[in-house]
Amino acid sequence: IEHRVQMQALLASVREGDLVLCDKLDRWSRDPEFSYGSIRQILEKGASFYAVGDGCDPSTADGDSMLNFRVLFAREEHKRIRQRMVGTRELLRDAGYYAEGLPPYGYRRSAPKGTRSATKNVLIANPAEAEVVRRVFAMSVANLSLQQIGQSTGLLKDRVRDILHSRVYLGQVLNTRGEWISGKHEPIIDAA
């Protein structure tokens, strides 16, 4: 279900007589359940909805039929996009790239967001944070508790635990078979 904050704010603010315009139905949402529900909610409040690019006014019989078809097409497009994204992530993981979400603490991406190259999935150590990561592991080896390590480094206990449980800091990534393999990035720590 759609969770965009701006979308929820828009739906909460719609009043009778308002007109909600969107470019196309597939830009409104690719989630069919949300599309139907939110557009019905707008119409029930006495407001109107119009998708300009599709010429769709769901308050009419023809527009309601068009809504049904367009929402189904948007859902299929969403499936294709998801399949391409998941397939690409799997290829990157198996090649040793970090293809997850945000880089782990201590690393940053080698290229800015929006770069259209696999090299953006190579992690580079952030020098200041990498030093904190090394201290976390050294304190753990010295048998300090998560809480003690967190107090000493200024990190939350959960983040300390996540750091200590991640093999990414050894220069590894998890491939699609669930195996840790050598990554394209440099390790921050060594196994010792």
- pLDDT tens-digit map of 104-117: 999 999 877 776 77
What is the pTM for the complete model shown? 0.57
Q: What is the mean pLDDT of residues 161-169?
A: 96
Output the pLDDT for position 2: 64
Up-side HSE of residue 16: CA atoms within 13 Å toward CB?
1
- pLDDT tens-digit map of 65-107: 888 887 787 777 777 777 766 678 888 899 999 988 889 999 9
Of the chain, the percentage scoring pLDDT greater than 90 comes to: 55
Residue 20: Cβ within 10 Å count: 18
Reduce the secondary structure of 75-86 to three states and give it as a string.
Answer: HHHHHHHHHHHH
Of the chain, the percentage scoring pLDDT greater than 70 comes to: 96
Our CA dihedral for 117, 120, 122, 125, rounded to 10 degrees, sits at 160
Phi-psi bin for 21: left (phi > 0), alpha (psi -120 to 50), beta?
Answer: beta
